[in-house]
Amino acid sequence: MPKVGHCLRFCELASRAERMANCACELFAPKTEGIRHEPGQDNRHHHHRAAQHPAFRAFFRLTGRWSLARIALVLALVCLCFSLPPFSAKAQDAADDDDVVRVNTDLLLFPVRIRDKKGQAVAGLTEQDLTLKDKDKVTTGMYFAPGADRVAMLFALDQSGSLQQIISQQRDAALALFSRFSARSSVAVLRFTETSSLAIPFTKDAEAARSAFRFRAGQNSRTAIFDAAADALKAFEDLPVVRSERRIVVLISDGLDNRSARSADFVINLALEKRISFYVIHLPLFEPRDGRLEVRRPTKGFRELAEKTGGKYFLVGDRESALAPKDQDLTPIFQAIEEDLKSQYLLGFYIAESARDDRRHFFTVTLKPEDIQYSMWGRRFSRTHEFTINLPRPK
């Protein structure tokens, strides 16, 4: 049985449709004499516009006063009203956000660093500064946008005892980095030792993430950095796909992995597939070597995790700071991450359905200005890069 609210809504729409039909009939129907009134009869109680009428009567009296054609017109208008989606601010926001990539859109995105011959970042470039050569016509268009206004940023924090105090003290500097991007950005926090846990899932509230930077030092001496990095990538799966959003992991660790089941290459390839960059902040341990303190070498692949995924690697501290770790300040590192993200471009390609043919296709993009070059995913800087796609046929 329909709910009362639905019935009242139907009657309200019927009344509205009645008025719309009256206007339509006045425009298109021939003039009539109207309703005849018998002498001495009080017709106010039978008039469909009388205020004391129940809402249902306004609809049912249509059948008594109107022709079949007019009834059909009213019902069509009512159905039209029900079929139109309600307008709301939320719906408007969704309509305005044309950055959302629809499910049926194939879009390959690459974060790109562009520099001049002096090594300085280059601003103000547009799609007109690029030349696309695509002889197989596997692309249907390009996407090119400067900077990174919207980010999804996950902090992966090593809970090792030696780092707990430093990371806790740096939470304000870390969250200040997040706050410098638009309000549409989101932040999450993952902590790890031998295993990892998502302390705060993605949220737009920086204050909600603040508490996740306070934790007890891990008692376990084993650390699985690459397993935690893989779990960090998995945390992005529930986010909607947004074209202009940069997705990054800020990994803070001492770089010593002695437990991971996954390899660095596995995580790097997964990050490239998901278009997620790692920014690695290395808070090193020191060891005596040749009579002096030296940085203990990180596990193989730790630095490459940043350099091969389009991020950057930062080594923090020296022999002097090793004696006073409380005085370390990561603010310059976070500022460098912000500047790097905002100086980059997003280069993307819309892929045609004809490219899904189990064949390897190549196309190139060249910067027109001769004095600038670009790099992506840690590759060398050059004016021209070749892109390869090989997509399976649709099932």
Delineate the domains of the chain, giving CATH numbers in brackets: 4-83 (no CATH), 105-147+345-390 (no CATH), 150-342 (3.40.50.410)
Section 281-306 average pLDDT: 91
**What pLDDT does residue 206 have?**
92
Q: Give the whole-angstrom CA distance, residue 287 versus residue 309.
A: 29
**SS3 helix, strand, coil % of the chain, rounded to 5?**
35, 25, 35
Instruction: For residue 202, give both structure tokens.
Output: 């993605």
**Does residue 79 sit in helix, strand or coil?**
helix
- Please check the confidence at residue 247 and state whether its pLDDT lies above 50: yes
23-32, 175-184, 297-306: which has the minimum mean pLDDT? 23-32
Summarised one tens digit per residue, pLDDT across range 348-371 is: 999 999 999 999 999 999 999 999
Average predicted confidence (pLDDT) for the chain: 79
What's the CA angle centered on 109, arms 101 and 373, to 5 degrees? 150
Starting at the edge strand found earlier in the chain, the sheet holding 372-376 runs 139-146, 345-351, 107-116, 372-376
Lowest mean pLDDT among 55-69, 169-183, 196-210, 354-368: 55-69
Which has the closest alpha carbon to 309: 233, 200, 388, 386? 233
pTM of the model: 0.73
Distance CA 50, CA 287 (A): 93
Per-residue pLDDT reduced to its tens digit, 195-204:
999 999 999 9
- For the segment 186-208, the average pLDDT, to the nearest whole number, is 95
